[in-house]
Every structure is written in C-alpha cells, then in structure tokens.
Amino acid sequence: MPKDESLTHTPLSVSHLFDASNHCWNARLIHQLFDEVFAQAILSIPLPYHPKQDKLIWILDSKGRFSVKSTYRVSIAQEPQSDHSDVPWMKLWKARIPERIKMLLWRIGTNSIPTKENLSCRLEHIDPVCTLCKSVSESCVHLFFGWHISRALWYTACWGFRLDQNMVQTFEDIIKLVLEPPVSTLPSYDKWLITLNMAFTVEEIWHLRNNILFQDAHIDISKSSKSVMSRFSNTATALGVIARNHKGEVTGIWGRCRSLCPPLQAEAATLLWAIEIAKREHWHHVVFEGDAKACFEHLSQSDSTPDWLISTFINNILGLALCFSSVKFSWVRRVGNSAAHEVARFALSSIQSFIFHNGNIPPVIEFVCKADYPACISFS
C-alpha cells in the first residue's frame, strides 16, 4: 500500500524498484513510496541471480499453485473452532517463540501458574481476590484478558487487537488464541508473527503483574507496550555456516543475522550463503550438509517443485552449483548439525557478522565442534 493514495493509480512496475547496477532493491525509493511494514516486506524478497519469466502464484498453497483443495482447506481453517477442541500442545512446542515463553504458556494452559486463585486452592489463608483490581478472583483468564490494564496492553502492543468477550473463557482458550490467532490481513505464511507478538504480550503482562506485587512498580502502559514492541522488532533470524576440510578439521566459521523471516526461508538463505562462501573461497570439490530436509529434497530432485517461498533460493543455489568441479547436497538429521546451530545461537548474541578460523574459535563453539567431530580440533 503506497504512503500516498494518489500513487495508487500511477503506472509503476516492479522493475522500477530495482537498482540494476547493484543487483538489489532500490531501498531509498521503496521507503519513499511505501509504509515501513510494506517496505520491509518488499526488501526481504530475494532477487534471482538471472532474469526469470513472471508467473502468477497462489500464496495459499506452498507450491504456489491454485487448486480447489487448497481453497477448501483455507475455508475450513477459517470456520469457528469447537468449544471442546483440545489444546494444540504439539503446535506450542513447534512454535517459533522463545523456550521460556513456551514454558510460561504451558503453565497457563495447564492452570499451574501461581495466580492468587490457584494458590488459594492449595494454601490456607490466601485471599483469591485480585490485588490489582480488588474486584474479582485472580484467575488466568482475568489476569491476562479481564484486567483492564492487560486489555489496554493487548490493544497497544498487539496491532490494535480487541478482545471479544466470548473469545477467552477458560485458561485453555488463552493458549488456543495465541497459537491459533484470529484471521488477519497477514498472509498465511506470516501468521506465526502474530503468535510471536501475542506470546510476548502474555509474558509482559505476567512480568508487569509480578513487578507491581513484589517490587511496588508503577503501571506504565506506554513503557510496557514499548517493551513488547522492542522484543518483537529485535527478534532476528540467525544464520550459521561451518566449513571443514577432507579430514574433518574446521577451516572457517561464519555467522550473521538477517531480518525475521519464516523458518523455511531462513534455512534456504543459509544454504545459499554457504554456497556463496564456497564460491568466494575458490573451493572446487564441495559437499553441503544440513538438516533443512525440504531444501535438500528439491536440490536432489530436479523435477520437483519447491515451496514458492524458497523457489528463488533453490534456483540460485542450483545456478551456483555449476561453478564447482563436483558438488553434493546431503541431508543430515538435526542431531548431526548441532555445531551449526550453536553458531547461529552465537550469532544472535553478536552485534556484527563474524568469521572465525581454527585458532580463534570461541570456546563455546569449539566445544560443540569437538563433540560433533572429535578429530576436527586439537585443544590447547
């Protein structure tokens, strides 16, 4: 959506947004034309190395192809869920949210969080009345959605979210709402961002409640809202690459962060970065290993159609693969890729991109590399 509505009818093609000389988006023009959310979404789209013919993509299907089946699935997903549906615990454990918040949500979903109502059921002489509003019992539902401060925080910190009176009636409904948020204007592949934002909001309400009760903190909706937004905006995707020689010895470790994106896209971006590094280092015989099964399946099956989210990445990878004398893509289980994941975690705590060589590898990464392949590093 353009910033200026008068531009809506102005003839403008996507090619006008390219910087052809540098083979990248014209970031300055994009920020001039579009709001920040739309500008960041455009800038996150990868550009192909070689020109490709335009085609229509049905974004509600992972392959980008329209079908009656995909339309049916979308319509079914938008139907109201049964009040007696179970909590989707597996969806919680697989959600792209911090582990500490998963545990908080699990405690809320099992009604084991120490609200005053729960404590009064287990201990004598505990007043169940909410200390914050002094009007009703402090249950999970009241604390996170009934308390007027929490309702205000939901509206200010979570994209203007307004709570329907019948939306949350039990502690289980809280988890269902976070993991299966209401229909929004975001594309289906970006709905996990709503879950992430809602999870941060739940955590902030719990922190705010505890700070008021135990540290005599003052209520500041603006400060709490900014805290949620800061955590959400600072969330990034980390990439980690480890190179070994034919003896298994580590020759280089690379790490960096990029803007938040769907997990599948992050995995494809990491693999593309790895092959770019190999080309830059002038390696001739290479083997690429990783646990991104969806990516490696498409790289080993030339006739398969990749998810449209990573199709450009896959095409660019296959194009660069022609630069090597021999190249092989090999999928490994996640347990066999622990060193690369440690590099990615290290990248999240780093301010800048980094590269390490054997001799200056941080101990935490060196230890995982040693465990991953005992003969690869000699400890001093």
pLDDT for residue 279: 94
What is the average pLDDT across 53-81?
A: 76
List, as one string, the DSSP characters of 320-367. HHTTSSEEEEEE--GGGGHHHHHHHHHHHT-SS-EEE-TTS--HHHHH
- Judge contact between 129 and 137, C-beta under 8 A: yes
Whether 351 shows a pLDDT value over 70: the answer reads: no
Whether 369 shows a pLDDT value over 90: the answer reads: no
Spatial CA neighbour of 289 closest among 338, 330, 349: 330
What is the average pLDDT across 112-140?
A: 91
Whole-angstrom Cα distance, residue 263 to residue 344? 13
- Residues written for the chain: 380
- pLDDT-wise least confident of 191-200, 281-290, 301-310: 301-310
Distance between start and end Cα atoms, the chain: 58
Torsion over CA: 110, 113, 117, 119 (sign): positive
The H or E element that residue 195 is part of is helix 191-215
- Judge contact between 204 and 243, C-beta under 8 A: no
Whether 254 shows a pLDDT value over 90: the answer reads: yes
Angle between helices 311-321 and 263-280 (to 10 degrees): 20
Q: Residue 254, SS3?
A: strand
Domains of the chain: 5-43 (no CATH), 89-233 (no CATH), 237-372 (3.30.420.10)
- Judge contact between 25 and 47, C-beta under 8 A: yes
Instruction: Provide the residue type at 235 as one letter.
Output: T
pTM over 0.75: no
pLDDT tens-digit series, residues 68-93: 888 877 777 665 554 455 788 888 98
Whole-angstrom Cα distance, residue 225 to residue 154? 9
Q: Which residues contact 307 (CB under 8 A, 6 or more apart)?
A: 62, 63, 64, 264, 294
